[in-house]
Each structure stands twice: as C-alpha cells, then as structure tokens.
Amino acid sequence: MMIAITLGLFVLLTAMGLLLSAKMGYVMQDQNAYIHETGRYATEVVSRSVRQAGYENWNSGTIPLQTADNFSANVMGMDAMTLKKTSAGLDGATATDVVNGSDVLALRFYGESTDGEVGAILNCAGLSVAAPASVQTAEQERGWSIFFVAKDSAGEPELRCKYQSKTSWNADAIARGVESFQVLYGIDADGDGQPDQFLNADDIDELDNHLLLAGENAIVRARDKNRKTAWKKVRTIKFSLLVRGSQNARDDTLANEYNLFGNDYSNAHGYKDKGVRVREDVLPEASRNRIRKIFTHTIQLRNDAAGNGA
C-alpha cells in the first residue's frame, strides 16, 4: 500500500507539473499574441494620423482653405509630459504622473465638408472633422489628433487619443499596456526637403528659444514665431512604443533593459530624454513579470506643402 501511495503521488506530481508547464506555455503564447496585436494596432493609428498632418482638401471644386505661414505648426510635441482629458488642446500639460517619461504628439489638419455634410477626414478617435466655417476661423478650427500616455482607473498605462468633438474635448484609450511612448522629429535644417538630424521636442523648443522675433506686441511676435519655428522644419517623425502584456507570464531574471531608439541613442541622450531607456528592475513590482516588446516606426510627412515647410 505504501508503495502504491508513493507511486500515485509521483504520478500526481508529474501530472501537475505537466499541467502547470502547459498552462505557462499557453499564457506566454497568449500574451505574445496580445502584445503584437496591441503594438500593431497602436502603430497603425498613430501612423495614419501622422500621414494626415497638414492635410488640405484639394479634391474640392474650389480653392481650399490653406495653412498660412503665420499659423501654428501642423506638428508639435512635448517631452515627458501628459495631458488632462477635457482641457483644450495642449493646455494643462503636466509633468506630474508621467508614465516612464512618455511624450506627447499633436497633429493638426483640415477637415472636409460638402453641401453641409461632413466628409471622410477622421481624427484619431475615428470621428469626422468638418471644414472650418470661414477663412477667419481656419486656424482655430483645424482638426486635432493628440497622443499621450496616462493610467486608467486600475493603474494600467494606456496610449490615449485626445480630440475635439462638436461640444467638448475628450480623450479615449487606443491601446492598453503602453509603458512608454517616445517621439523623435527629423528636422530639415538646410531646406533640401530631407531630414538632417533627429531631435526630441525639448531640443526643438530650445531652437525656438533662440529665434529673433519681430513685432510691437506679444500677438505680433507670436505670429512671427509661427513663421520661423523649427517645428515647421519637421519632415519625418519616428516614434517608439514599449508594450507590455496584461498579466504575469515570466519567471526568469527581471533584469532586461529596453532601449526604445536603440542602445546608442540611449547612451548619448538617455540622461536628458526620459523614457528612451526603461529598466525592468525599476518598474512597479506587480508588473515586472510581464512580457514586453518594442515597436518602432518612421514616417515621412506627406503634406509638407500644407504648412510644415513654411
């Protein structure tokens, strides 16, 4: 009887081990599929909005509203910042509760309207954007697609799309589990139409801080800054997402290091560009055992003639 009990326990333990191993394998496959689906979808949504930046409706039968040289840039960004859901545009940006130094990317474009009907130009939330009512309101009524990272009510980080509806501002989740969203901007310094260097948002703002502005008051000087800003020299946008799974699926040593733009960039700029290097050992303990993957994409802006290259 003792021998039978021993053999039975051995068989039971072996079966339990096989069951746990099979479950772990299933969880890893499921989490890998989840991460790839999330990363691909988030990349597609951001990429589509980037390509739309600076759009003007040249398909209409009349000359479309165009982006004047003293309008604000069609591409703007912020380093290591997050936004409030209901504040207008980039107002109320804060460095408090930023998730792993994630960036903000803001894109502007014209909508479409034909015979009083809104056209097929959509913002990042999938809502149609109407054309401005008049030339006088053209700058203010351009559409917005703004991307940033924040935590939901359960503390899970998510990539959000901020947009303006007919009545208010709001922000919706695009992808859950985005631990870092980083953006670099390809600047055309010599005017040949090709990017000469990639800078982060703080670097571009620093270039603007050295502009010599003309004008007798703040409003006129702001218009002059819009004409000269380095943001209108952006020709390419490179963004990177660090996406994690929805549950723990690892039991290895938690010592990975994720360099969203590569190790060389992190070594050269990581000290000032927060979030481009994320180490697992400094992440919240409850989420360290999750699978993670980096998704990186580079996009050439299509609509330079619509204001980015003013």
In the chain the first and final C-alpha atoms are separated, in Å, by 89
Beta bridge partners of 197: 187
- Identify the pLDDT of residue 58: 78
Q: 193 — alpha (psi -120 to 50), left (phi > 0) or beta?
A: left
Q: How confident is the model at residue 17 (pLDDT cuts 50, 70, 90)?
A: low
| pLDDT above 50 (res 309) | no
> Residue 269: how many CB atoms within 10 A of its CB?
17
Q: For 218-222, what is the mean pLDDT?
A: 91
- Cα–Cα dist 287/209, whole Å: 40
Q: How confident is the model at residue 263 (pLDDT cuts 50, 70, 90)?
A: very high
What secondary structure letter does DSSP report for 103?
-
Give the tokens for residue 289.
Answer: 């055992």
Q: For 242-256, what is the mean pLDDT?
A: 84
Judge whether 227 and 308 are in contact, CB under 8 Å.
no
pLDDT tens figures, 48-80 = 999 999 988 877 666 677 788 889 999 999 999
Q: Which comes out higher in pLDDT, residue 148 or 215?
A: 148
How long is the chain? 310
| pLDDT above 70 (res 115) | no
Q: Is 298 exposed, middle or buried (0-12, 13-18, 19+ CB in 10 A)?
A: middle
CA 107 to chain centroid, in Å, comes to: 11
Q: For 114-136, what is the mean pLDDT?
A: 80
Q: Where are the beta strands (DSSP E) in 5-133?
A: 75-78, 104-109, 113-114, 117-118
- Identify the pLDDT of residue 105: 97
Percentage of the chain surpassing pLDDT 70?
91
Question: Where do we find the tokens 């040289």?
Answer: 69
| pLDDT above 60 (res 305) | no
- Identify the pLDDT of residue 202: 96
- Residues whose CB falls within 8 Å of the CB of residue 198, separated by 6 or more in sequence, listed in order: 184, 185, 186, 187, 236, 238
| The model scores a pTM over 0.85 | yes
Give the tokens for residue 261.
Answer: 């733009």
CA dihedral 116, 118, 120, 121 (to 10 degrees): 120
pLDDT, averaged across the chain? 87
Name the least confident of 16-30, 94-108, 228-242, 269-283. 16-30
Q: How confident is the model at residue 24 (pLDDT cuts 50, 70, 90)?
A: low
